[in-house]
């Protein structure tokens, strides 16, 4: 099969992914072999390719928003059939025994492994996944519109939960990329009033098209204080100004896996009146199932730009330069559409 391998992290401008011919992986005990139709391009892939996240496996195939078709069942797999549609996401396995796993917080598992970091991911024609961590997808879903839900959607959904967003409340979204615009679709469905902060004209345009109550940049005055905010931009210096936008008792959730340093906070200005800052760390499978169920009900239709399989490096560069409006998806197989 053809796969994009990362032998050594490097700036994506240097095209660190090499497209190579490698053996199709064998599904191990309890695993599925999935023929990849398409794979969403995530900022975490960029952090792995460029080395902000240290290598866990070398070489590694990145990609953790995989929509595919089950091609082969490993020994001991039950309840899956060849030909089923499957989604593979970031969380690839947990120990199911540590105190976090036992308390329903498997996203914090000490022994968790991740797709496209600890194990090969979806920038390839085939990928494996433990069946218990695969998501069953309805046969009729559009693969390209579903791929971004598998990380951008799930993490965004967890961020909504962490920020305690309720139907009808006021929500600030800072940075308006893949995850943020899916969050906005969910918030719209819940009847929230959404304020979008972005410096990028094409992101602001999408936010307006999607019906944002207010669109602007950090530093501008807003008409009302925010009850909830989610920071998607990986920039720690935005934390203090966003906290200033929060109402008393407001909650800020930070959605990224990577954030540049947060400057000094002022207790009275930024935290007093029971404001809260919370991080978002990966997700549980429950988050994934809830989001995918919601996606069918709403239905979620992310704004997608496709990238041909051969052009993974370019896709990551477009993401780095913030060129995608909504989500980018690598189209691996001709029958993804
Ligand atoms: Zn665990
Ligand atoms: Zn991701």
Q: How far is the CA of 104 from the centre of ligand 2 (A)?
A: 21
Which of 265, 270, 206 minimizes the C-alpha distance to 244? 270
Q: Note the ligand closest to the C-alpha atom of 96.
A: 1
The C-alpha R_g of the chain, in whole angstroms, comes to 19
Assign residue 197 the CATH number of its domain.
3.40.50.720
Task: Tell me if 111 is assigned to some domain.
Answer: yes
Domain of residue 110 covers 2-140+303-336
**Ligand 2 centroid distance, CA of 65 (Å):** 7
Q: Given a cut of 90, is residue 305 above it in pLDDT?
A: yes
Model-level pTM? 0.95
| 322 C-alpha to ligand 2 centroid (Å) | 15
Same domain, 108 and 217: no
Q: How far apart are CA 93 and CA 60, in angstroms?
A: 17
Burial of 167 (0-12, 13-18, 19+ CB in 10 A): exposed
List phi, psi (to 5°) of 183: -55, -40
In a domain, 245, yes or no: yes
Predicted confidence (pLDDT) per residue in 71-107, tens digit: 999 999 999 999 999 999 999 999 999 999 999 999 9
Taking the CA of 284 as reference, the closest ligand is: 1
Q: How far is the CA of 116 from the centre of ligand 2 (A)?
A: 10
Q: How far apart are CA 51 and CA 316, in angstroms?
A: 13
Tell whether 198 and 254 lie within a shared domain: yes
Q: pLDDT of 9-58, one tens digit each?
A: 999 999 999 999 999 999 999 999 999 999 999 999 999 999 989 999 99
Apex 61 CA angle, 3 and 306, nearest 5: 70
Take residue 322 and report the two structure tokens written for it: 């913030």
Identify the nearest ligand to the CA of 95 by its number.
Answer: 1
Q: Are residues 133 and 162 in the same domain?
A: no
**Contact between 330 and 39 (Cβ < 8 Å):** yes
pLDDT of residue 256: 85
Q: Are residues 205 and 247 in the same domain?
A: yes
Task: Provide long-range contacts, Cβ within 8 A and 24+ apart, for 101-107.
Answer: 104/284, 104/286, 105/284, 106/284, 106/285, 107/158, 107/281, 107/282, 107/283, 107/284, 107/287
| Ligand of minimum distance to the alpha carbon of 319 | 2
**Ligand 1 center from residue 154 Cα (angstroms):** 20
Q: Are 12 and 136 contained in the same domain? A: yes
Please report, for the domain that includes residue 321, its CATH number.
Answer: 3.90.180.10
237: in domain: yes
Query: What's 322's DSSP letter?
Result: T
pLDDT at 109 over 80: yes
Residue 181 has pLDDT above 90, yes or no: yes
Compute the distance from residue 80 Cα to the ligand 2 centre, in Å: 25
Measure 141 CA to ligand 2 centroid, in angstroms.
Answer: 20
Q: How far apart are CA 337 and CA 37, in angstroms?
A: 9
Q: How far is the CA of 117 from the centre of ligand 1 (A)?
A: 18
Residues 273 and 307 in one domain: no
With beta carbons less than 8 A apart as the criterion, state whether 64 and 122 touch: yes
- Number of domains observed in the structure of the chain: 2
Q: Are residues 105 and 182 in the same domain?
A: no
Closest CA to 173 of 242, 74, 104: 242
Residues 113 and 237 in one domain: no
Has residue 195 got a pLDDT over 80?
yes
Alpha-helical (H) ranges within 192-311 are 201-209, 239-245, 285-297
Ligand with smallest separation from the Cα of 113:
1
**Are residues 129 and 198 both part of a single domain?**
no
One domain for residues 96 and 190? no
Residues 130 and 163 placed together within one structural domain of the fold: no
């Amino acid at each position: 099969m053809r796969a994009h391998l990362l032998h050594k992290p490097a700036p994506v401008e240097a095209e660190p992914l090499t497209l190579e011919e490698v053996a199709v992986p064998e599904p191990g005990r309890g695993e599925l072999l999935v023929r990849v139709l398409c794979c969403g391009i995530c900022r975490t892939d960029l952090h792995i390719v460029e080395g902000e996240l240290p290598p866990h496996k070398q070489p590694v195939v990145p990609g953790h928003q995989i929509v595919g078709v089950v091609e082969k069942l490993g020994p001991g797999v039950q309840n899956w059939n060849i030909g089923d549609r499957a989604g593979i996401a970031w969380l690839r396995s947990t120990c199911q025994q540590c105190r976090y796993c036992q308390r329903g917080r498997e996203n914090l598992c000490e022994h968790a492994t991740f797709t496209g970091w600890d194990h090969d991911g979806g920038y390839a024609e085939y990928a494996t996944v433990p069946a218990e961590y695969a998501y069953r997808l309805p046969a009729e879903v559009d693969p390209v519109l579903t791929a971004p839900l598998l990380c951008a959607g799930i993490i965004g959904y967890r961020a909504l939960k962490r920020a305690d967003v309720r139907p009808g409340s006021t929500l600030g979204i800072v940075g308006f990329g893949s995850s943020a615009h899916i969050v906005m679709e969910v918030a719209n469905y819940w009847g929230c009033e959404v304020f979008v902060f972005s410096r990028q004209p094409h992101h602001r345009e999408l936010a307006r098209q999607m019906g944002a109550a207010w669109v602007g940049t950090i530093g501008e005055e807003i008409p009302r204080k925010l009850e909830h905010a989610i920071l998607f931009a990986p920039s720690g210096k935005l934390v203090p100004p966003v906290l200033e936008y929060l109402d008393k008792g407001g909650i800020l959730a930070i959605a990224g896996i990577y954030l540049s340093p947060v400057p000094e906070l002022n207790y009275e200005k930024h935290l007093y009146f029971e404001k809260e800052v919370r991080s978002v760390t990966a997700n549980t499978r429950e988050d994934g199932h809830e989001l995918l169920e919601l996606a069918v009900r709403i239905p979620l239709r992310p704004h997608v730009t496709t990238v041909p399989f051969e052009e993974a490096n370019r896709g990551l560069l477009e993401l780095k330069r913030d060129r995608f409006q909504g989500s980018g998806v690598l189209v691996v197989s001709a029958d993804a559409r």
